[in-house]
Amino acid sequence: MAVEKWGEFEGEPVGRVVLDNGKGLRAAILSWGGVLQSLTIDVDGRPRPLVLGFDGFPDYPAKSPYFGATVGRFGNRIGHATFTLDGVRHDLEANMGGVHHLHGGSKGWGRRLWRMTPGGDGRSVTLELTGPAGEAGYPGTVEARCLYQLTDDSLDIEMTATTTAPTPINMVHHTYWNLDGKGSIEAHELRLAADGYLPTGEGQIPTGEIRPLAGTGFDFREARRIDAKGTADYDHCFVVNGSGLRPVADLVASDGRVRMTLDADQPGVQLYTGFKMDITASDGAHIGPRAGLCLETECFPDAPNKPEFPSSILRPNETYRHRMVHRFAVAGA
């Protein structure tokens, strides 16, 4: 399986690898940002797109809201762009409105080139990246790895990392899903294996409370349309029930033809329904609000500043691990 050149970034080639499970599921991965650029599944003999992405590389650094990116070193938000670890204060890049820290900073891992090694089976690719000590203000040099692999019915993603000094780690996969392949996700049906969510304050930073879903517009404990509670605008972290690799989400296309189940091993999942998007690609295609939704399994946002949250701190001689299994089924196939 060859790595094709798919553009250039800061004078370096951008690689692209296409994975194929031979059973109608195909994925294209970029070395820039560790991006899942394309994922299709055959429906009635024709490939149906399942994720949002651009057809040309220049739109990614210029216009992408992290489409399909492998985000780090800390995905999501850290309040006031600072945290204290082992008695030492660390000030981060305040790349979110000049106040807070988002997705590892303006040069975070979702906007950098990764080293790309295809597997020998045509179904997998490994990406590796070195995050130097001091990047965006973080301590410790981190060696990060992301494995994409297709099985007979799933896209599996496994992220790992090691560090030379204690540091927060929260590697997040940031794909925008649309199982219809077009239009809005408002009529998608979603169920989340969560009984609580994290309410937020200024800058969408969690307050530290875990609030029950019952009686709120955030209740996805039973499968329902995204917009069934009168809104389709969500950007919150839900507290996933249980621990270890377990069910997180069940998403069904509005036409009922494609179902995706998501299992993961992280404490939370960020549901973002893309309501802030308003993008015109270079080919003239418009990607508007609610054209895709994110299901970002993760440590809780602002965990480095919330001792009551599960720890996001990685220490030397430990290995960070984050596994996701996206399983697909086509009705009537």
Q: In terms of Cα–Cα distance, which of 142, 2, 6, 4 is closest to 61?
A: 6
Integer CA distances (angstroms), 292 to 46, 52, 232, in order: 21, 7, 11
Catalytic residue among 135, 186, 189, 296: 296
Residues 296-333: tens digit of each pLDDT: 999 999 999 999 999 999 999 999 999 999 999 999 86
174 is catalytic: yes
Q: What is the pLDDT of residue 333?
A: 67
Number of independent structural domains in the chain? 1
Is there a catalytic annotation at residue 103?
no
List the CATH number of the domain containing 218: 2.70.98.10
- Look at residue 124 and tell me whether its pLDDT is greater than 70: yes
Catalytic residue among 103, 173, 174, 188: 174
Q: What is the chain's Cα-based Rg?
A: 19
Q: What is the mean pLDDT of residues 218-228?
A: 98
pLDDT of residue 332: 82
- State which residues form the domain around 286: 4-330
- The values of phi and psi at residue 204, to 5°, are 60, 35
CA-CA distance, 177 to 90, in Å (whole number)? 35
